[in-house]
Structure 1
């Protein structure tokens, strides 16, 4: 397993991370035993970075990982997002970044995971009603107390990054980044590189859209992609045409579309760690194969010619959720 350091002050982590959200219902039903087996297979393959959120399945994901990591905690770099407010029916109410809420959320997370510390703790989104300095200050308190090792951020823009980093060093920014989600390249990536902050990139296969495996009609009940603009009837045919262009390039190299898309993200810099949302061992094995893919300058040129920036149709989320992204505000 290759390794990459998260920022100038962060931990050394595997070059690929495992995102566990899909194991808790986000993409429809999942198999608990297969999910745990996938976590175990990831650890055995040398993946150390494991990412979750306390609101994934309303705590289900943390409890699942707690079970999977029993006796294996020392092999994992645990990254946890917090702050999303949800109702019993799954409705989203916004984000809570108040210091007391930060510390309370952490207490519940430690209990559900069955661990005594979190390696990287991060607000899932910016709370517009709480200065980022206060939210980060609370995490700093928890770092000083030994309950957290490092500070991370998620989906925030350049100004917020600078303000947070002034309170305590930020080790990484978690943000969606893929061949069809490249907005962070404009103003965010230059700032993280200036400040020595790593990137943990989620959505590198755009929720399966550019994996080469998904086709229309493949959404189960409860799958949040049913509400995603990029999967909507007016956009999906265009977006799948982009996948076919990638398939041609991948075939020439003897690899899968997913491996090509992951390898492209890996090739964008040693400060970027793709987080793969595999919830089955076969998909994990495929993703791991991307580590062996070497993309030449000619390959990269062909890929970006096939799928240039802004080639996809549809936003990442519906308008209400896009409005919650500090990273997508004008000028970000």
Structure 2
């Protein structure tokens, strides 16, 4: 500044420079303070985050503790209830305990008796083992005798089986012989009819016989050729209520279906049905079943064959 009060540019520049330096220094101080504040703010934020995490953890711990407390309270209540029940059960079970103690005492005494019996049985077992060993020794000494006895018993059974087999064979042979005899009897019965036919031929060839005698003998031989079972005939007649024997026999000859001139039970039964039906005015259905029964009866009785001819039967009557 000059003496006249004017400000020179140098002075003004100098003042401005000083102010700039002051403002710069102040700005640097403010920037440093700002950085310091910002660092403190970051630290504060970090502390806040840590504190928030701690708060969350504390809340979690608080909730878990509350849950534990609730669970403990529930357990305590359950334990108290169980304790109450147990006390009541103890009151009720004390008499049972006394009974169990009495039972235990009795079972203990019983077990002692059982143990004594077991000792006695053990002693008896030892004696039995000794006796068995002695018996085995005796058996080993006399084994040959038992083997001979076993062989003799086997031989006895073999002889019995052989005798039984021989008896069965003899019975079989007896049945075979009986069947053979029956076959021979049947064959002989068939030959009898052939012999009668040959006798008829011989009578026809004889020159001394008269015509009337020849006709009579021929009729008799023809009548002799018809055969039947007398017991079956009588049974069929009685079953159907037939009394005229000769008429029924003549009527039944037409029912010889096989043509062997032997009236079987079935043929006699069929003839009896028709013989009764021809005389009855109105035959009922039920009597028709009776000849079938008579037929069965006659067939059952048919093995009892009595060989007769019409001439002999007339003579017997």
Task: Pick the TM interval, shorter chain.
Answer: under 0.3
Q: Larger relative contact order (C-alpha < 8 A, sep ≥ 6)?
A: 1
More strand by share: 1
TM-score, length of structure 2 as denominator length: 0.19
More helix by share: 2
Larger Rg: 2
TM-score, length of structure 1 as denominator length: 0.19
